[in-house]
Structure 1
Amino acid sequence: RRELNLSNSSVLGACQKLQEAVGLPNLAPRYAIDAPADAHDGSSRPTLSLSALLKQYGIRLTANQAYHQMVKLGIVEQRERYSRTAINNIKKFWSLTAKGCMFGKNITSPANPRETQPHFFESRFPELLKLLDTVH
């Protein structure tokens, strides 16, 4: 969990799938709380993909351009995993850093459980946009 900075809901989902796969009774909770790292109210926050938020705010950046800017801020990092079908057998994916968990959460990719997909808190996106404006 710590290696990929997975959200609580991603960890819970993995545990539930494991319980089912090995035939254990479902003892895990049904819900997990996903909130910014500094949230004190214990309540989850709605999230969206970076592409969806950029479009919603009318920002003329691609998600890839924004991710490269966030690397400079220490908010995301590009990770790698082995893949039989990818070029040079390496598949790259984005992952939020510990610092980035203030702005979003890493969800388990639906395409592959060994990689993450950043989702950003809608409530923190304006703050993230201000930071992106400082990167040149």
Structure 2
Amino acid sequence: MSDIVSPGCDLMEPMKMDALCRVREDNEIVTDALTVSREFGRRHDNVLAALDSLIEDGTLNHLDFKAVEYRDGKGEFRRTVELTERGALIAMPFIGGRKSRQGQSRLIDSFLAMREELRRLREQKTEAEPTRALDADEKRMRRDFLMLGLAADNLNLCQSTRLRMNSACADLHGCSTSLLPAHAIDAPKDGPQISSLPTDSLRSLLSKVRAHYRASESKKKVMTAREFYELMQFAGMVEYLSRASTSTDADENGLKWFWSISAEGLNYAKNMTDPKSPRQTQPHFYRGHFDELRRKLSALMPEYLKWKAEQALKTCAEYAASASRCPDVREAAEYREDLR
């Protein structure tokens, strides 16, 4: 028996001469010119000549064959050619030989059988590999990242805050942050996403407006931050949200309230998180868009004041109705008198 050897390499897995094809180390099914010569009833040198001709004219490309060596009965290395399944199918009609028909049939059957055996072995290997269950740390990490994503979407957090939150979560779970960007772009929703725009808190921006009015001796009144946020809320640009808190500034129900920019307001401000209070948003307003926002809200002021007056009258009516149901008639009358 002879062994097939890769050129310049140690002895490969032997291909016994009673096997028509074998699986190479790269999982490619191959045969060789020695096998073809035996099966087709042609001399090996004639088979090599036919293959060389097919290689020279490009009928066989570099993926269809590989030059290898084999060790003959004397222990000397001789040249041969290894053929892939495609290469063998192309070459067989050009080989000839007294047993070419039988050789072609046996070689094709051998390739098909080997291909089926490979498929069976792969399926067995897949079935034998146990499905690895996620451990507690992996489950916690997935849950934390999922929660961060939901929170970022629901609170309309800006990109820089999302990046900081993900970096903190990665550090918490011992994950590398080398693939995360160094910075994120915070820009208006409908604006060009080229670079982050400078922002300020609402109080800081309103203070600058007051300073400008004082310098110009204008008698215009500047809204407080609370009034500004309420007007934005009327316009649908912010939401008033709450979270559980044990701090002294929580209300009687143990809730702390905060403002959050809604999707409608993302052209004028962004939601950030305060490292000291990471569970609530902290709106920051784009400096270059603040005057436009003030003009837009000023145009809504008459409609807002009318709505606010209607709400006040409605509250008074409900207050008076509750007083009229008071069992003490005199107190009820005094109650209504006070309302006047």
Give the TM interval when normalised to the shorter protein: over 0.9
Q: Percent identity?
A: 39
1:37-60 deviation per Cα after TM superposition (whole angstroms, max 9, x unaligned): 011252210000000011112262
Q: In structure 2, what is the Cα distance between the partners aligned to 1:68 and 1:9? A: 26
Gaps of 5+ in 1: none
Residue 115 of structure 1: how far off its partner (Å): 0.6
Residue 109 of structure 1: how far off its partner (Å): 2.2
Please point out which of 154, 160, 165 is paired with 1:14. Answer: 165
Bigger Rg, structure 1 or 2: 2
Report matched runs for 1:1-136 at 5 Å: 1-27=152-178, 28-58=180-210, 60-85=222-247, 86-87=250-251, 88-134=253-299, 135=301, 136=305
Q: In structure 1, what is the Cα distance between the partners aligned to 2:275 and 2:233? A: 23
Gaps of 5+ in 2: 1-151, 211-220, 306-340
Deviates more, 1:7-16 or 1:19-28: 19-28
CA contact (8 A) 2:187 2:195 kept: yes
Q: In structure 2, what is the Cα distance between the partners aligned to 1:40 and 1:48? A: 20
Residue 29 of structure 1: how far off its partner (Å): 1.1
Secondary structure (helix, strand or coil) at the match of 1:102 reads coil
Secondary structure (helix, strand or coil) at the match of 1:115 reads strand
Q: In structure 2, what is the Cα distance between the partners aligned to 1:41 and 1:22? A: 31
**Higher share of residues assigned helix:** 2
Q: In structure 2, what is the Cα distance between the partners aligned to 1:110 and 1:120? A: 18
Higher relative contact order (CA 8 A, sep 6+): 1
Q: In structure 1, what is the Cα distance between the partners aligned to 2:231 and 2:275? A: 25
In the alignment of these two chains, the number of paired residues is 136
Q: In structure 1, what is the Cα distance between the partners aligned to 2:280 and 2:205? A: 21
Cα RMSD, aligned residues only: 1.3
Q: TM-score, normalised by structure 1?
A: 0.93
